[in-house]
């Protein structure tokens, strides 16, 4: 498999100066495909971390900041047979399209990246990336919205209302809305942290399932769970599992994904750093393992 050629990367940099419309044109003119494919399952590479300032992998606080390395890793992952597409912000989707990496792949647009990691307003996840109009205009296959629910932060109400509105706007256009509902707590320092309670995860799945004027085009993106039968059983919506930074628990994370896939409405995986920056082996090996558990085929 081939990665990103330096000459192509330099051409991308020049195009941003001398031919900026070429990036948009590459996105709108790419070869498209249907969302579910033939088996109704999805293996998506997540690459929207930089738009929220999430740059760390393990002990390296700036691992994802190197754009050449990030694009190279995404391009290599998209070449693994069985990968269905990528989810990213506008800069990355346009760069991948310009580099010819999105033909025949799904492009999922991230929408609300305003909850900058570590900010005092982190849970007020404003719309700062794609909106529904531009997703439709640029021929993008879906939009992803983040909904972190914490009971004491007033900013959550703004995010909840916005996510409901975006879900409706995308459904009106018959475009997938991928909602990522997550339960959160605030620690003693006032910092937002993930709530790992099983009951709270079931609760946010139920809340997200009822958002918008139609749920016909809604998918959910949630963490895997040792009690996935109860989590997935709280909705009929299709579910894809998120990744995160598993660190030293890399193998345990993969094993939990695999067991969670046994539920009928768990339809795949949307993982980023676990695939692009694996703790063991190459990008291709990590992605191939993901493809195996999602589609039941061995990538070669």
The DSSP call for residue 279 is S
Q: Which pLDDT value is given to residue 244?
A: 67
Q: Which pLDDT value is given to residue 299?
A: 44
Q: Which pLDDT value is given to residue 248?
A: 61
Six-digit token string for 257: 């994904």
pLDDT digits (tens, 9 = 90+) for 181-210: 999 999 988 889 999 999 999 999 999 999
> How many H-runs (helices) and E-runs (strands) does the chain carry?
11, 9
Identify each DSSP E strand in the chain by its residue range. 42-47, 85-88, 106-110, 142-149, 176-186, 192-194, 218-222, 239-242, 266-271
Residues 251 and 259: their CA atoms lie apart, in Å, by 13
Q: Which pLDDT value is given to residue 58?
A: 85
Chunked into runs of 10 residues, the chain (300 residues) has average pLDDT values of: 93 98 98 93 97 91 96 98 98 98 98 92 93 98 97 92 98 98 93 93 98 98 96 98 73 89 97 91 95 77
Q: Which pLDDT value is given to residue 37?
A: 87
Residues 151 and 272: their CA atoms lie apart, in Å, by 28
Q: Which pLDDT value is given to residue 279?
A: 86
Q: Which pLDDT value is given to residue 300?
A: 41
Q: Please, what are the domains in the chain?
A: 6-295 (3.20.20.70)
Residues 171 and 217: their CA atoms lie apart, in Å, by 6
Provide long-range contacts, Cβ within 8 A and 24+ apart, for 114-121: 115/52, 115/146, 115/148, 115/159, 116/52, 116/53, 117/52, 117/53, 117/54, 118/53, 118/191, 120/190, 121/155
CB under 8 Å to 18, separation ≥6 — which residues?
none
Report which of 182, 184, 104, 179 is spatially closest to residue 143, judged by C-alpha positions.
Answer: 179
């Amino acid at each position: 498999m081939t990665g990103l050629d330096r000459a192509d990367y330099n051409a991308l940099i020049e195009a941003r100066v001398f031919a900026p419309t070429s990036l948009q044109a590459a996105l709108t003119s790419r070869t498209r495909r249907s969302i579910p494919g033939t088996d109704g399952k999805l293996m998506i590479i997540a690459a929207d971390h930089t738009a929220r300032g999430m740059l760390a992998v393990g002990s390296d606080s700036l691992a994802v900041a190197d754009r050449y390395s990030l694009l190279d890793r995404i391009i290599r992952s998209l070449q693994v047979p069985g990968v269905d597409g990528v989810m990213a912000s506008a800069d990355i989707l346009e760069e991948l399209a310009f580099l010819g990496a999105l033909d025949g792949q799904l492009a999922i647009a991230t929408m609300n990246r305003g909850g900058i990691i570590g900010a005092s307003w982190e849970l007020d996840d404003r719309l700062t990336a794609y909106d529904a109009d531009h997703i439709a205009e640029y021929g993008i296959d879906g939009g992803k919205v983040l909904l972190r629910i914490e009971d004491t932060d007033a900013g959550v109400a703004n995010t909840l209302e916005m996510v409901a509105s975006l879900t409706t706007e995308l459904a009106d256009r018959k475009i997938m809305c991928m909602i990522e509902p997550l339960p959160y707590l605030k620690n003693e320092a006032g910092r937002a942290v993930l709530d790992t309670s099983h009951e709270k995860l079931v609760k946010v799945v139920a809340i997200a399932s009822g958002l918008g004027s139609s749920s016909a085009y809604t998918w959910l993106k949630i963490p895997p769970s040792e009690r996935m039968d109860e989590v997935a059983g709280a909705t009929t919506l299709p579910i894809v599992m998120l990744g995160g930074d598993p660190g030293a628990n890399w193998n345990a994370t993969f094993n939990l994904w695999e067991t969670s896939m046994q539920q009928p409405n768990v339809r795949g995986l949307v993982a980023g750093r676990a695939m692009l920056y694996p703790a063991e082996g190459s990008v291709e090996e990590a992605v191939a393992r993901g493809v195996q558990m999602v589609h039941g085929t061995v990538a070669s």
